[in-house]
A = this chain, B = another copy of it.
Amino acid sequence: MIKTDINGDIGIISLDRPPVNAINPELVSDLTDALDSFKSNDDVNGVILQGRDGCFSAGLDITHLFPKDRSYIEGFWEDFSSLLLNMFSYPKPLYSSIGGHCPAGGTVMVIMSDYRIMSKGNYFIGLNEVDVGLTVPYGIGMVFQYVVGNRNAEDLLLKAKLISPDKALQVGLVDELCNAENLLDTTLERIAVASNLYSPQQTKTKQILREQTLSIVEQNFDKDAQLILDAWFSEHGQQRLEVLYSKLSRK
């Protein structure tokens, strides 16, 4: 479900759960372990997260999650948001190589990283939570604002926009576009500038820059779980999720 590799001093984590890297409890757990392992590995000065060709991740595994009860979803959400918190406060440079579609939970993961490079192509990226009956919780909303700014955050989130790589570059949701065949090499080139300077001082500087946002995320950690659960199990949420579930189950 997760493959790891080391290139020089850069750890590479590849999400590999065909066909679309749908996020289920096992993927969350394996990704958490991979990040922890590179964190404590003194030979690793930076980490790249990538998906599969054509798809970084399609988001949460609704087929698996929709039939589950409230306590199951609660446990899953707690693990998933702990993973996100670990990513946003990761002490080493953490870059994303986005080689294709990256909606919903895919976007949620990559905004936690330091830098996003996306393949040019007919792909989409964005947070469509509001369209599937979910609230964008504090943790994800604050980081999204941190990345794209207030006006873009409102425009994209309240309209549940899934956008092209070109538009994502324009609003700052990704930092750079490149051709699919150069994606990993370009990401390795970019992260080298940061990983060459990896030091306690760099880590502390990153923590200082993210501290205001991180503190709001942490303060609302429990409240966010309730927001997600309430929306998920609301009448409106169940209706929207069922539409999605039926569509995905037919595939």
Contact = CB atoms under 8 A, between A and B. Distances in A.
Interface in A95-126: 114-115
A115 B236 contact: no
A158 B175 CA distance: 15
Interface in A129-175: 129-131, 133-138, 141, 145-147, 149-151, 153-155, 157-160, 172, 175
B158 A93 contact: yes
Contacts of A208: 135-138, 141
A175 B199 contact: no
A135 B204 contact: yes
B151 A175 contact: yes
Given A194-B159, A197-B160, A236-B199, A206 B154 contact: yes
Given A159-B194, A208-B137, A151 B172 contact: yes
26 contacts: A93-B158, A115-B155, A129-B201, A129-B205, A130-B199, A133-B199, A135-B204, A136-B209, A137-B208, A138-B208, A138-B211, A141-B209, A147-B151, A150-B209, A150-B213, A151-B172, A154-B206, A157-B205, A158-B205, A158-B206, A159-B193, A159-B194, A199-B236, A200-B234, A204-B227, A212-B216
Nearest to A141: B208
Number of copies of this protein chain within its complex? 3
A202 interface: yes
Given A93-B158, A141-B205, 11 more contacts: A114-B158, A130-B199, A130-B205, A134-B201, A138-B211, A141-B209, A147-B150, A151-B175, A158-B205, A159-B194, A159-B197
Interface of A: 93, 114-115, 129-131, 133-138, 141, 145-147, 149-151, 153-155, 157-160, 172, 175, 193-194, 197, 199-202, 204-206, 208-209, 211-213, 216, 227, 231, 234, 236-237
Contacts of A159: 193-194, 197
A165 to B, nearest CB: 17
A146 B145 CA distance: 11
Contacts of A216: 212
A33 to B, nearest CB: 25
B236 A201 contact: yes
Given A150-B147, A154-B114, A133 B201 contact: yes
A227 B207 CA distance: 13
A184 to B, nearest CB: 20
